[in-house]
A and B are shown apart, each in its own frame.
Chain A
Amino acid sequence: MSSAAPGGIRGLRRRRSRAIKANVFRTGVAVIAGFAVLAVGAGWWQVVEAERLATAADNPAVIAVARRALRGEIVDRNGAWLARSDRDQNGEALRRYRDDTISQVVGYASRKYGTAGLERTFNAQLLGLSGADPLGGLAGKFLPAQDRRLGLQLSLDLRLQRAAVRGLGNDIGAVVMLDPVTGEILALASTPVYDASAIADPATATRTFEALQADEDRPLLPRATLGRYVPGSVFKIVTGIAGLDTGAITPATTFQQQPAAEEDGLLVDGFRIRDGHHPMTGDTALDMAEATEVSCNIWYALAGLAIGGDRLVDEASKLGFGSAIPFDLPTAVSSVTSGDGRMPGGFSDDAELASAAFGQGETFVTPLQMALVAAAVANDGVLMRPHVVTALTGDGPGARAIGPETWRRVMSPDDARALQAAMEQAVEGDLGRLFTAGAAVPGVPTAGKSGTAELGGKGEPHSWFIGFAPVENPQVAIAVLVERGGRGGERAAPLAGALMERYFELYGTP
């Protein structure tokens, strides 16, 4: 650097002083670009995300409105009121709920503890804050205030909901009933239930809520949508769907090694898979319907291995596994496997895959998910998007009816019919009746599958049943889970049968 000639430095300096202007200019352009990013960021929050932010349940403006404003009314499918608002002596809004059985669906709206359930999902609409979309907001600025709050019309039938809660009795469990053709939820029960009116009433809110939070049975947890359980044999229907849809099995598939393995169990990767139906079936090689009828673990384990982990997980995801089910209430993710294994699909070995295929692997499901599995089979392979809100009612912006919507086609109608037949045999067949006693609705052809989810160690297994009726032109699909309820046929199946019977009492036998 010392070699630079004196004159050279001065020349440099002159050349450079012109450059400094250009550098200043370029820096200015960079600053403008930076501010343009800020403008985009502001636009993102104030236009694109504005409505979501402005109507969030814990937004102080929303809380302030909620104190004064009366919330819209919530009614069931027959117009029976479920939640309504009055003013108390001080002129503040007070929310009341019809009874405890709907608490896990409708939720609560409390000044102190916020909102839950549908009260949370549709908080903005019920308060009349919806339609705060940027352009609608612009027009609203120059219009006089009007009653913008909306009511909710549910597809829920209060009578079925009450029957479901009563049927679960003192047990902890969940019932999901839906119309497989429309995806409308008819009953969505979780027990234990709680008194939502007591949470909404400021006078009793603290005492009630703290007691509920301390309760070890967790009454505030809506088990039907957020509870994750080992499925046991009801998962075999998922394996059946996956097998038929991928072509890995047909309804006529038999496995040569199956009858031989019944006596001592089937050895997979050193893990022995056992069955209990050996005395009934002897040396017969079972096909799909027979295996479903007697709930053959070995047949479904072999089917699962034939399908492979990858395809089993893929097919299950078509039914809603692997991500939260889009619904009017928050839903937990059902999963076929914990997914951290090195085998295809995330299974850790063949033993896990084989166990998962009959519902005893690392599989966890929500009752809602299993009800959708039954509904997909019932509706000839077409899965409807489940929904419980059928209309936003009122004069405010955003009032609309919410009709049935096809979610996806899961399997071909032929495959669905094969499974319908298998599930009918599991309920109506001579051997099936032994496993699903009480599930059959008198006078109505009924299909279904029971499940007994072994939890390891001592204690009763979870009792499961999924099914639908009638087999032709089905009207109702159901999933019943009773925690520690014993074998599927002992607790869940009779309850499902009784509830479906109640449905046909109310809506007429086909």
Chain B
Amino acid sequence: MTAAIAARPASRFRVRPRPRFTELVLLAIVAVALVVGAVSLGATEQLRAATEAGKAVRRLDFLPPDPQGLLVYLLGLAAVHAGFVLAGRRTDQVLLPTVGMLGGIGLLLMQRLPQNLVVQSFGSAELGLGQLQLAWLLVALAVVGVLGLAVRSDTWLRTYKYTWAAAGIGLLLLVFVFGSEVNGARLSLSIGPVTGQPSELLKVILVVFLAAYLSENRALLAEESTRIGPVRLPPLPYLAPMVVMWAIALGIVVVQRDLGAALLFFAIFLSLLYIATGRPSYVVLGLLLFAGGAIVLYSLFGHVQARVDNWLDPWRDPQGAGFQVVQALYAFGRGGILGVGLGAGLPTIGGRLPIPAVHSDYPLAALGEELGLVGLLALLGLYLVVVSRGLRIAAASHDDFRSLLAAGLALVVGIQAFIIAAGNLKLIPLTGITLPFISYGGSSLLANAVVVGLLIALSDRGIEPPPAPRDRKRHLPRLSRLRRARVAP
């Protein structure tokens, strides 16, 4: 992909710095909020330690647990902002601060959890949870910056859709063959010391493929239909490659027991199909398929049954299978409306966290406890901001592919946040996917950084509209017409 970006001659763009006031102001607010949060976190932890030791606190020094870490993160945000200013592109100014806030909240949470929850050693250096998260956040910021600065054309995405699809499937197969098993799910792939979850990247590839395929065949999918009795189905020949791609992805995901990703893929597939065709009947059909699939999965797989049963009644086994679900609900209950305060939540039982997967699957429970309902609603609001910016970019694009791509990318974030939040809140069975930008994990942060970077790039309302897409648009229908003419008698 670097080749495609580099292929554009740099001389065609004049670099003229352009101030981004909105972004600057929003980033300043984010920085103040995060610093205040960190200070309050530090003070609370001192108080808590003193209370547990049975001592009185005379003076509080308002020092965050890891001031350097937060500073480095804020500098990283500033650097990306500076890069955008210097490049002078007229791109979205809200996404970076919003995502920066979410990432910062995640960073504070990881710094505040027991650091030995995740430890990785690189040579002699041993990094704990907070430091690892910081490192990944910086890489993610770099990805956002590079994509937001450098991506000026989407040709490289739309032309090679089958290549992307193949790469995605290859990635999954790789995991299936070489991956390691965690909690009964074969999800992660280790390369040297770094472990990743390729399904995170796969969701981006899926959006690219679907956007390209649907934009090309949109008109036909929307207008034509195959009739089977009274039921109007999508034109099957045109739907086939997409369904095959989807089925393969889903099948492998099911084999890997990654229910969350399967649900996410399916939801994205349905939403993009609806946006492209505007036909609710497809969504209804899809939901029926989903219901059927869910019943089949439930009756076939023990781990699916366990998840669902656990969801219906976690109190049946509150010390065993239902432990995390129950503990998460207790955390929400303790939080109440205003929350117990940053750092004051998550009481440990015998030195153990009540929610072992709090950094990956249950960050929302921890935040709901410490920030309360008010904080939780604000957090959900931030995700809605990301979605609305993305959909706005989609609506503003004059090109089908760009519209679908931007909408798909925005929906990836929104739907993923919805699925895990609904799982945490016991509205649906819990599926092990991450809370975007907040959960611990390099793959998740990187994949979501790619999403945000692409969205920022796609939002460019520059003087020069990207020429390549228009070219494609002009000759693509001709191509397909030719193809059809050959088929038609």
B334 A54 Cβ-Cβ under 8 A: yes
Query: Which of B336, B354, B403 meets A20, CB within 8 Å?
Result: B403
The answer to whether B332 and A16 touch across the interface, beta carbons within 8 angstroms, is: no
Report chain A residues within 8 Å CB of B82: none
- Does B372 interact with chain A (Cβ within 8 Å)? yes
Do B422 and A38 touch (CB < 8 A)?
A: yes
- Residues from chain A with a CB closer than 8 A to the CB of B224 are 1, 4
Instruction: State the Cβ distance, B437 to closest chain A Cβ, in Å.
Output: 16
B139 at the interface (CB under 8 A from A): no
Asked if A42 contacts B349 (CB within 8 A), the reply is no
Residues of B within 8 A of A52 (CB): 333
Cβ contact within 8 Å between A38 and B414? no
Provide the residues of chain A in CB contact with B239, threshold 8 Å: none
For A58, the chain B residues whose CB sits under 8 A away are: 318-319, 326
B243-284 Cβ-contact flags toward A at 8 Å (1 or 0): 000000000000000000000000000010011101000000
**Interchain CB contact (< 8 A) of A16 among B222, B330, B477:** B222
A113 within 8 A of B: no
Which residues of the other chain, A, contact B338 by a CB distance below 8 angstroms? 137-138, 141
Residues of A close to B484: CB separation below 8 A: 1-2
Scan A41-84; emit 1 where CB is below 8 A from any B CB, else 0. 11111110111111010111101100000000000000000000
B372 contact from A24, A27, A38, A46, Cβ within 8 A:
A46
Chain A residues within an 8 Å CB radius of B407:
24, 27
User: Whose C-beta in chain A lies nearest to the C-beta of B394?
Assistant: A24
Task: Please choose the segment from B99-107, B114-122, B379-387 that sits at the chain A interface, where 4 or more of its residues have CB less than 8 A away.
Answer: B379-387
Closest to B478 in A: A6
Q: Does B438 contact A (CB under 8 A)?
A: no
Contacts A16-B218, A60-B354; A46 near B337 (Cβ below 8 A): yes
A64 to B334, CA, bound (A): 13
Whether A54 pairs with B376 at a CB distance below 8 angstroms is: no
Residue of A nearest to B215 (CB): A20
B336 partner, pick from A23, A59, A137, beta carbons under 8 A: A137
B102 to nearest A CB, angstroms? 15
Q: Given A12-B219, A16-B218, A39-B377, A45–B275 Cβ distance below 8 Å?
A: no
A37 B347 Cβ-Cβ under 8 A: no
Look across to chain A and name the residue whose beta carbon is closest to the beta carbon of B355.
Answer: A60
Instruction: Please state if B380 and A38 are interface contacts (CB–CB under 8 Å).
Output: yes
User: Which residue of chain A is the closest to B489 with respect to CB atoms?
Assistant: A2
Chain A 4-40: CB-based contact to B (< 8 A → 1; otherwise 0): 1010011011001101111111111011101101110
Within 8 A of B (CB), among A139-188: 141
Instruction: Decide yes or no whether B425 CB sits under 8 A from chain A.
Output: yes
Contact of A46 among B223, B278, B368 (CB under 8 A): B368
**Which of A22, A23, A51 neighbours the largest number of chain B CB atoms within 10 Å of its CB?**
A23
Residues of A within 8 Å of B108, CB to CB, are: none
Is B347 a contact partner of A64 (Cβ separation < 8 A)? yes
* Minimal Cβ-Cβ distance residue in A for B473: A13
Interface size on B, residues (CB 8 A): 62
> Are A20 and B347 in contact (CB-based, < 8 A)?
no
Would you give the shortest CB distance from B441 to chain A, in whole angstroms? 22
Query: Are A45 and B337 CB-contacts (below 8 A) given A2-B484, A2-B488, A13-B477?
Result: no
Kindly report which residue of chain A lies nearest to residue B54, judged by CB atoms: A91
| B388 within 8 Å of A (CB atoms) | yes
Contacts of A12 in B (CB 8 A): 219, 222-223
Instruction: Please indicate the chain A residues that have their CB under 8 angstroms from the CB of B398 in the complex.
Output: 17
Q: Which residue in A23, A27, A35, A53 is a CB contact (below 8 Å) of B333? A: A53
Indicate if B75 sits at the interface (CB-CB under 8 A): no
A45 close to B222 (CB less than 8 A): no
CB pair B388–A28 under 8 Å, yes or no, is yes
In B427-480, which residues have CB < 8 Å from any A CB?
427, 477
B189 interface residue per 8 A CB criterion: no
CB distance from A113 to the nearest CB of B (A): 12
Q: Does B329 contact A (CB under 8 A)?
A: yes
A25 and B422 form a contact (CB under 8 A): no
Q: Is the CB of A2 within 8 A of B336?
A: no
Chain A residues with CB under 8 A of B354? 60
How far in angstroms is the closest Cβ of chain A from B151?
A: 21
Contact of A27 among B336, B411, B418 (CB under 8 A): B411
B400 part of interface (Cβ distance < 8 Å): yes
Does B202 lie at the interface of the complex (its beta carbon under 8 Å from any beta carbon of A)?
Answer: no
Taking a contact as CB atoms under 8 Å apart, the answer to whether A9 and B219 are in contact is yes
Q: Which residues of B contact A6 (CB under 8 A)?
A: 481
Q: Nearest Cβ distance between residue B240 and chain A, in whole angstroms?
A: 14
The residue on B at minimum CB distance from A55 is B333
- B373 cross-chain contacts in A, Cβ below 8 A: 42-43, 46-47
Using CB atoms, name the residue of chain B closest to A136.
B336
> Which secondary structure dominates where chain A touches chain B?
helix
Cβ-based interface call for B391 (8 A): yes
Residues of B within 8 A of A132 (CB): 336
Convert B291-327 into 0s and 1s, putting 1 for each residue whose CB lies closer than 8 angstroms to a CB of A. Answer: 0000000000000000000000000001100000011
Contact A47 B336 (CB under 8 A): yes
Q: Which of A2, A23, A35 contacts B275 (CB 8 A)?
A: A23
Q: Does A404 belong to the interface (CB within 8 Å)?
A: no
Contact status of A46 and B333, CB under 8 A, knowing A27-B275, A32-B384: yes
In the docked arrangement, what's the CA distance between A9 and B338, Å?
Answer: 56
Task: Answer yes or no: B421 CB below 8 A from chain A CBs.
Answer: yes
Given A47-B336, A60-B330, A138-B338, A27 contacting B318 (CB threshold 8 A): no
Cα distance A13–B326 in the bound complex, in angstroms: 52
In the assembly, what is the distance between CA of A19 and CA of B278, in Å?
7
Q: A23-B274, A46-B372 are in contact. Are A56 and B330 (CB under 8 A)?
A: yes
Closest CB of chain A to B432's CB: distance in Å?
18
Tell me if A276 is interfacial: C-beta within 8 Å of chain B.
no
Complexed CA–CA distance, A149 and B259 (Å):
46
Residue of B nearest to A45 (CB): B332
CB distance from A130 to the nearest CB of B (A): 14
* Interface check B220, CB cutoff 8 A: yes
Contact B219 A60 (CB under 8 A): no
Contact B368 A42 (CB under 8 A): yes
CB distance A9 to B377 under 8 Å? no
Q: Give Cα distance in the complex from A195 to B353, angstroms.
A: 33
Instruction: Answer yes or no: B124 CB below 8 A from chain A CBs.
Output: no
Q: Mark B402-429, 1 if CB is under 8 A from A, else 0.
A: 0110010001001100100110011100
Chain B residues lying within 8 Å of A2, measured Cβ to Cβ, are: 484, 487-488
Closest beta carbon of chain A to B366's beta carbon, Å: 13
CB pair B334 A61 closer than 8 Å: yes
Known: A9-B477, A24-B407. A46 touches B219 (CB 8 A): no
CB of A326 within 8 A of chain B? no
Q: What residues of B have a CB within 8 angstroms of the CB of A43 in the complex?
A: 373
Minimum Cβ distance to chain B for residue A206 (Å): 15
Contact, CB under 8 Å: B425 / A41 = yes
Q: How far is the CA of A54 from the CA of B369 in the complex (A)?
A: 10
What residues of chain B lie closer than 8 Å to A19, measured between beta carbons? 278
Cβ < 8 Å to B, chain A residues 238-254: none
Residue contact B223 to A24, C-beta cutoff 8 Å: no
Which one of B218, B278, B349, B384 contacts A63 once the chains associate, using CB atoms below 8 Å?
A: B349
User: What's the Cα separation between A51 and B329 when bound, in Å?
Assistant: 11
B residues near A38, Cβ cutoff 8 Å? 380, 418, 421-422, 425, 427
Q: Does B395 lie at the interface of the complex (its beta carbon under 8 Å from any beta carbon of A)?
A: yes
The reply on A403 being an interface residue by CB < 8 A is no
Q: How far is the CA of A39 from the CA of B383 in the complex (A)?
A: 13
Closest to B327 in A: A60
Report A-chain residues with C-beta under 8 Å of the C-beta of B347: 60-61, 63-64
- What are 14 of the A-B contact pairs (CB < 8 Å)? A2-B488, A12-B219, A24-B275, A28-B387, A34-B414, A35-B383, A42-B425, A46-B372, A52-B333, A54-B334, A54-B336, A56-B330, A59-B333, A64-B349
Q: Which B residues have a C-beta under 8 Å from some C-beta of A?
A: 54, 218-220, 222-224, 235, 271, 274-276, 278, 318-319, 326-327, 329-330, 332-338, 347-349, 354, 368, 372-373, 376-377, 380, 383-384, 387-388, 391, 394-395, 398, 400, 403-404, 407, 411, 414-415, 418, 421-422, 425-427, 477, 481, 484, 487-488
Closest 9 CB pairs of A and B: A53-B333, A2-B488, A45-B332, A41-B425, A46-B373, A54-B333, A23-B275, A1-B224, A59-B330
